[in-house]
Amino acid sequence: MAEETEIRSAADAAAHAGIQAFGVLLDTAALMERLFGSRLQEECGITHSMFEVLLHLADSPEGARMSRLSQDLILTSGGATRLVDRMVGAALVRRTRSADDGRVQTVVMTEEGERVLIRAARLHAQQLDEHFYGPLSGSQAAVMTAALDRLGQHARTVLPTLR
């Protein structure tokens, strides 16, 4: 869809297929985030960002460095700190000092965090079946997932690391 269209007017900009396609992507992502996030908040008491942190920690039972969470979640270090602070306050995670380097903070999931993650993951899986995979055929979902993964990998290679 690499258009060589020259944009000379506001109407040209609004009609540009690439600009429209990117707008569809952003609008859909925002709607899905709102749909899924509101249910997580209502039924599990966590935000979608908290859910993502818990998922990352589930893959790292020994804990994850704050810098790694910040990178993986595409947050500034300050944003990651504020998010983890809220999660510590909710008893979902705890901070520890790294055994390898005492200057480094590691975030570890608590038993309460694991209980909440399991409940939230069950809800999330139900919502995915209904609102994400349900409207698409299996092949559409596979193609979309592969394409979005490729775009995300590309963006990670060209963007600077957040600080």
3-state SS string over the chain? Answer: CCCCCCCCCHHHHHHCHHHHHHHHHHHHHHHHHHHHHHHHHHHHCCCHHHHHHHHHHHCCCCCEEHHHHHHHCCCCHHHHHHHHHHHHHCCCEEEEECCCCCCCEEEEECHHHHHHHHHHHHHHHHHHHHHHHCCCCHHHHHHHHHHHHHHHHHHHHHCCCCC
Q: Is residue 61 part of a domain?
A: yes
Please tell me which residue, 101 or 36, carries the higher pLDDT value: 36
Q: Is residue 6 part of a domain?
A: no
d(CA 121, CA 118): 5
| pLDDT (mean) for 109-123 | 97
Q: Is residue 117 part of a domain?
A: yes
Residue 101 is predicted with a pLDDT of 75
Give the mean pLDDT of the chain: 90
Q: Is residue 121 part of a domain?
A: yes
Q: Is residue 4 part of a domain?
A: no
In this predicted structure, the answer to whether residue 163 has a pLDDT above a threshold of 70 is no
Q: Is residue 5 part of a domain?
A: no
Residue 124: give its domain's CATH number.
1.10.10.10
d(CA 161, CA 24): 26
| pLDDT (mean) for 134-140 | 93
pLDDT band at 97 (very low <50, low <70, confident <90, very high): confident
Total domains present in the chain: 1
Q: Is residue 95 part of a domain?
A: yes
Count of Cβ atoms closer than 10 Å to residue 73 Cβ: 16
Task: Find the domain containing 92 and state its range.
Answer: 11-158
Q: What is each CA distance from 128 to 35, 50, 124, 151, 157, in whole angstroms?
A: 11, 18, 6, 21, 28
Q: Is residue 120 part of a domain?
A: yes
Say which residues have a Cβ less than 8 Å from residue 58's Cβ, sequence separation at least 6.
109, 114, 117
In this predicted structure, the answer to whether residue 94 has a pLDDT above a threshold of 80 is yes
